Amino acid sequence: GESVGLHLPTLSVQEGDNSIINCAYSNSASDYFIWYKQESGKGPQFIIDIRSNMDKRQGQRVTVLLNKTVKHLSLQIAATQPGDSAVYFCAENYASGGSYIPTFGRGTSLIVHP
Protein backbone atom coordinates (compact mmCIF):
# COMPACT_ATOMS: atom_id res chain seq x y z
CA GLY A 1 0.00 0.00 0.00
CA GLU A 2 0.99 3.61 -0.28
CA SER A 3 2.92 5.04 2.63
CA VAL A 4 2.29 8.62 3.57
CA GLY A 5 5.13 10.59 5.06
CA LEU A 6 5.07 13.93 6.72
CA HIS A 7 6.60 16.68 4.64
CA LEU A 8 9.35 18.61 6.29
CA PRO A 9 8.95 22.38 6.56
CA THR A 10 10.86 23.83 3.65
CA LEU A 11 12.65 27.13 3.26
CA SER A 12 13.60 28.18 -0.25
CA VAL A 13 16.03 31.07 -0.69
CA GLN A 14 18.17 32.60 -3.38
CA GLU A 15 21.92 32.34 -3.21
CA GLY A 16 23.30 35.28 -1.29
CA ASP A 17 20.18 35.83 0.81
CA ASN A 18 20.15 35.37 4.56
CA SER A 19 18.25 32.35 5.90
CA ILE A 20 16.47 31.95 9.21
CA ILE A 21 15.44 28.50 10.41
CA ASN A 22 13.26 28.25 13.48
CA CYS A 23 12.82 25.56 16.09
CA ALA A 24 10.54 25.19 19.10
CA TYR A 25 11.85 22.96 21.86
CA SER A 26 9.74 21.13 24.36
CA ASN A 27 11.51 20.81 27.69
CA SER A 28 11.98 23.90 29.84
CA ALA A 29 14.69 22.01 31.75
CA SER A 30 16.85 21.69 28.64
CA ASP A 31 20.07 23.60 29.09
CA TYR A 32 22.13 22.92 26.01
CA PHE A 33 21.10 23.19 22.40
CA ILE A 34 22.74 22.19 19.15
CA TRP A 35 22.06 22.74 15.47
CA TYR A 36 22.95 19.97 13.05
CA LYS A 37 23.08 19.93 9.27
CA GLN A 38 22.21 16.79 7.36
CA GLU A 39 23.12 16.52 3.69
CA SER A 40 21.57 13.89 1.48
CA GLY A 41 22.94 10.42 2.19
CA LYS A 42 24.92 11.51 5.22
CA GLY A 43 24.52 11.64 8.97
CA PRO A 44 23.80 14.91 10.80
CA GLN A 45 26.84 17.11 11.39
CA PHE A 46 27.37 19.65 14.16
CA ILE A 47 27.07 23.31 13.16
CA ILE A 48 26.84 25.38 16.33
CA ASP A 49 25.72 25.08 19.93
CA ILE A 50 24.49 27.34 22.70
CA ARG A 51 24.08 27.02 26.45
CA SER A 52 20.99 28.16 28.26
CA ASN A 53 22.86 30.97 30.02
CA MET A 54 23.35 32.66 26.65
CA ASP A 55 20.86 34.13 24.21
CA LYS A 56 23.11 34.49 21.18
CA ARG A 57 26.16 32.82 19.78
CA GLN A 58 27.93 33.48 16.51
CA GLY A 59 30.02 31.26 14.32
CA GLN A 60 31.29 31.58 10.81
CA ARG A 61 28.27 32.77 8.76
CA VAL A 62 25.92 31.26 11.35
CA THR A 63 24.24 32.71 14.41
CA VAL A 64 22.04 30.92 16.91
CA LEU A 65 19.50 32.79 18.99
CA LEU A 66 17.84 31.34 22.08
CA ASN A 67 14.62 32.62 23.64
CA LYS A 68 13.99 30.61 26.79
CA THR A 69 10.80 32.47 27.58
CA VAL A 70 9.01 30.99 24.60
CA LYS A 71 11.30 27.95 24.20
CA HIS A 72 12.44 28.97 20.76
CA LEU A 73 15.71 28.62 18.86
CA SER A 74 16.67 30.06 15.53
CA LEU A 75 19.58 29.51 13.19
CA GLN A 76 20.58 32.36 10.95
CA ILE A 77 22.79 31.69 7.94
CA ALA A 78 24.33 34.72 6.29
CA ALA A 79 24.92 34.91 2.55
CA THR A 80 23.42 31.48 1.94
CA GLN A 81 25.25 29.32 -0.60
CA PRO A 82 24.09 26.32 -2.64
CA GLY A 83 26.26 24.13 -0.41
CA ASP A 84 24.05 25.10 2.52
CA SER A 85 21.17 23.14 0.99
CA ALA A 86 20.37 20.41 3.51
CA VAL A 87 18.01 19.47 6.32
CA TYR A 88 18.69 21.34 9.55
CA PHE A 89 17.83 19.92 12.96
CA CYS A 90 17.83 21.50 16.34
CA ALA A 91 18.53 19.27 19.33
CA GLU A 92 17.98 19.89 23.01
CA ASN A 93 19.87 18.15 25.82
CA TYR A 94 18.04 17.57 29.05
CA ALA A 95 18.77 15.54 32.13
CA SER A 96 17.39 12.03 32.36
CA GLY A 97 18.44 9.64 35.08
CA GLY A 98 21.78 11.30 35.58
CA SER A 99 22.61 11.50 31.89
CA TYR A 100 21.92 14.15 29.29
CA ILE A 101 19.87 12.97 26.38
CA PRO A 102 19.88 14.74 23.04
CA THR A 103 16.43 14.93 21.48
CA PHE A 104 15.97 16.08 17.92
CA GLY A 105 13.31 18.24 16.33
CA ARG A 106 11.63 17.31 13.06
CA GLY A 107 13.99 19.25 10.84
CA THR A 108 13.68 21.96 8.20
CA SER A 109 14.71 21.50 4.61
CA LEU A 110 16.70 24.44 3.22
CA ILE A 111 16.83 24.78 -0.54
CA VAL A 112 19.22 27.36 -1.97
CA HIS A 113 18.66 28.39 -5.58
CA PRO A 114 21.70 29.57 -7.54
Residue placing its CB nearer to other proteins in the complex, 20 or 95 = 95
31 binds other proteins (CB under 8 A): yes
Residue placing its CB nearer to other proteins in the complex, 28 or 100 = 100
> What is the Cα 72 distance to its own chain's centre?
11
**How many residues are present in the chain?**
114
- Total of chain residues touching other proteins, rule CB under 8 A: 30
Closest contact distance (angstroms) between CB of 80 and other proteins is 23
> Cα separations (Å) of 31 from 6, 42, 62, 67?
29, 27, 20, 12
Which of these, 101, 111, 40, 33, lies nearest to 77 by C-alpha position?
Answer: 111
Q: Which residues bind other proteins (CB under 8 A)?
A: 3, 5-6, 31-32, 34, 36, 41-46, 49, 51, 89, 91, 93, 95-97, 99-107
